[in-house]
Amino acid sequence: MRVDGSVRLIALVWQAVYVVVHLWWAIGGAPLFLNGRESYFPGGWVPVALGVLATVGCLAAAATARREVGDTRRHVLAGITALAGVALCVYSFLFPITLVALLFEGARSGIVASLLATGGGAVAGVLCLRVAVDERRLAVRPCELCGRVHGKSPESRAERAPGWAFAGAYVAVAGFAARISVWLADTIAGRWQSEVSRANVSWSAMVVFMVLISLAGTVLPLALAHRWGRLWPAWVGPLRGRAVPRWLVLGPGLFVGAGLTAYFGIAGNTAWIRGDFGGPFLPLFLEMAGYTLWGIGLLVACASYAALTRPPCRQLIREQAR
């Protein structure tokens, strides 16, 4: 299987520039960022270290692009570049927030500096992840038409989801239960009603909101793992046995999972550790841990759902028809 060598070269150059810029800032001082910081995480040498790891991974990938390399080494290289890519994306989590600030507050110097820094890190992370995907493909040699590894990957929606997908789904449900337990305690104590009244939010809007998050914490994760989330169950009548539209389930799963993981799992927990906010430990722990597990569980289940709902392989269908 061939991969696009230009992507690896672009990734390598981008990582090198990212390292040089942040090395310059670490030695000579960083510019004025929005809210005084580039990331929720410590700056200085941290982005330099992440950039160096990404550069080493992309350099190794570029050097071995057209060489015969063992599958184990390809998997190791894919793991290194994936780790660097995820770390860079997490470090650059403020990019969408900075982009929104630019749209509403204008191109002030601090916002522009933050946008370039976080945007550069986000692009560097995505490029690393693309290199990691290519390395994995070289290692497993999937079907050119459908991307599956026939004999190892699921071939249809009717197959059972793997155990780790069910684990992710039920971890998400448990996370939702932990979060909702705090809301129930506040409701019984009358605190939640008072907060809604002070916030001047209509009760009808709150009811709709609670119904939606309840569905996102129960039906959504279970649909990602169970067969009825991929093929309509018998009780829907004429739709029975037909394919559930892929993005009807996968889209909300990715959106809610990524949002909860990024906002609460990364930003929220980092701010809590830094002491930016506080409160009674147990309710706060249940909220933050609940949201985090809910988001991560959804993303895990989404990975299985995405694999199970890929379109059938045309080549395999032709071979079976012969």
Q: What is the pLDDT of residue 239?
A: 85
Residue 55: which pLDDT band, with cuts at 50, 70 and 90? very high
* Stated pTM of the model: 0.77
Question: Per-residue pLDDT tens for 68-86?
Answer: 777 788 889 999 999 999 9
Task: Give the whole-angstrom CA distance, residue 100 versus residue 91.
Answer: 18
List Cα–Cα distances, 159 to 149, 188, 246, 248, in angstroms.
15, 43, 15, 19
Task: Give the whole-angstrom CA distance, residue 267 versus residue 97.
Answer: 12
Compute the C-alpha angle 316/321/322, nearest 5°: 105
Q: What is the pLDDT of residue 279?
A: 83
> 120 pLDDT exceeds 90?
yes
**In 3D, which of 89, 99, 117 has the Cα closest to residue 267?**
89
> 3 pLDDT exceeds 80?
no
**In 3D, which of 93, 82, 137 has the Cα closest to residue 118?**
93
Residue 40: which pLDDT band, with cuts at 50, 70 and 90? confident
> 2 pLDDT exceeds 60?
no
Task: Give the whole-angstrom CA distance, residue 304 versus residue 161.
Answer: 7
Question: Per-residue pLDDT tens for 22-39?
Answer: 999 999 888 888 777 788
Q: What is the pLDDT of residue 146?
A: 63
Helix/strand/coil for 198: helix
Q: In the chain, what percentage of residues exceed pLDDT 90?
A: 43
Domain ranges of the chain: 5-140, 163-313
Q: What is the pLDDT of residue 81?
A: 94
What is the residue-averaged pLDDT of the chain?
85
Q: What is the pLDDT of residue 292?
A: 95
Q: With the C-alpha atoms ordered 86, 299, 165, 311, is the resulting torsion angle positive or negative?
A: negative
Helix/strand/coil for 64: coil
Rg (alpha carbons) of the chain, rounded to whole number: 23
**In 3D, which of 272, 300, 304, 301 has the Cα closest to residue 285?**
272
Return all residues near 149 (Cβ < 8 A) that are at least 6 apart.
140, 141, 142, 143
Q: What is the pLDDT of residue 196?
A: 61
DSSP-assigned states of every residue in 201-223: --HHHHHHHHHHHHHHHTHHHHH
Tokens encoding 302: 């989404």
Question: Per-residue pLDDT tens for 172-192?
Answer: 999 999 999 988 888 887 776
